[in-house]
Amino acid sequence: MSHLLKIDHLYKKFDSSEILHDINLKIDKGEVLVIVGPSGCGKSTLLRCINGLEEIQGGDIVFEGKKINGKNTKWNLVRQQIGMVFQSYDLFPHMNILDNILLGPLKVQKVKRKDAEEKALALLKRVGLEEKKEAYPRQLSGGQKQRVAIVRALCMNPKIMLFDEVTASLDPEVAREVLDCLLELANMGMTMIIVTHEMAFAKAVADRVLFMDEGKIVEENLPKLFFDNPKSERAKRFLSRFNFDNSLKGEKNG
């Protein structure tokens, strides 16, 4: 079986600064890969390269068996299959929540409103926000807005989702709402690559953990093995800074 996403020897630099060096990874359908590492190590840049928001200077990105980093790649189509949610929610303030969510399916994918609305309402209910469908972004908390941003991305029916530090600007209690939402998506079988600084969450949700430092993959392992017995000295130093808690609602099933 071919991998849903495969990255071979990816290389990225800004001017003369090397940002990513010889990145190799594979992810299968339904798998959750969590990327951790110190600030500035290239985690977010890697996600942006996968989504075509950054050009790469070497290597290949292969999605569903096809190379997508060529000059003729139609990224507007690829991004419908590879969804991404950022730290900032970027909701349109003049539109209510439901209209924010429906904009992509209606305008880009030309989905019938009835079908798009049905899916949007089902997803809003799944993340506990069905009653907010007619509210405006200014009436929502940061955690609620981030959950709306996740639903908006999911309504495009992506085959893989990229999450870039989606709780970074939220206080711990509100962040927990968003993390529980991602845990729910994992249990639904959504394929995800998650960049996070929430180590307890990473341990709960990941099928595999990838540890990066200085633009390189230093270590990759199953979550229990990585967090309980990291192989590299660099990972041991990194993990020593964290206190792990069990305040999530649960762990990924299976």
**In the prediction, which pLDDT does 254 show?**
57
Per-residue pLDDT at 139: 96
Question: Cβ distance 152 to 100 under 8 Å?
Answer: yes
pLDDT for res 241? 87
pTM exceeds 0.85, yes or no: yes
Rounded CA-CA distance 216/7 in Å is 13
CATH 3.40.390.30 fits 5-91+159-239, yes or no: no
Tokens encoding 79: 């991004």
Strands (E), the chain: 5-14, 17-27, 32-36, 58-63, 66-67, 82-85, 160-164, 192-195, 208-213, 216-221
Q: What is the pLDDT of residue 2?
A: 76
Nearest to 107 by CA among 89, 80, 75, 140: 80
CA angle 250-253-254, nearest 5°? Answer: 140
Please report, in tens digits, the pLDDT of each residue of the chain (254 residues total).
Answer: 579 999 999 999 988 899 999 999 999 999 999 999 999 999 999 999 999 999 999 999 999 999 999 888 999 899 999 999 988 878 999 999 999 999 999 998 999 999 999 999 999 998 899 999 999 999 999 999 999 999 999 999 999 999 999 988 888 888 888 999 999 899 889 999 999 999 999 999 999 999 999 999 999 999 999 999 999 999 999 999 887 655 555 667 65
CA dihedral 245, 250, 251, 254 (to 10 degrees): 150
Sheet arrangement for strand 208-213: 82-85, 160-164, 192-195, 32-36, 208-213, 216-221
The pLDDT assigned to 248 comes to: 55
Cα torsion for 187, 189, 191, 195, to the nearest 10°?
Answer: 0
Phi then psi for residue 119, to 5 deg, are: -65, -45
Quick one: tokens of 159?
Answer: 């085959």
Place of tokens 């192989």: 231
Separation CA 15–CA 19 (nearest Å): 10
pLDDT at 71: 85
pLDDT given for residue 90 in this prediction: 84
Determine the pLDDT at residue 209. 97
pLDDT for 206 equals 95
SS3 content of the chain, % helix, strand, coil (to 5): 40, 25, 40
Any idea what the Cα angle at residue 120 is, between residues 115 and 124, rounded to 5°? 155
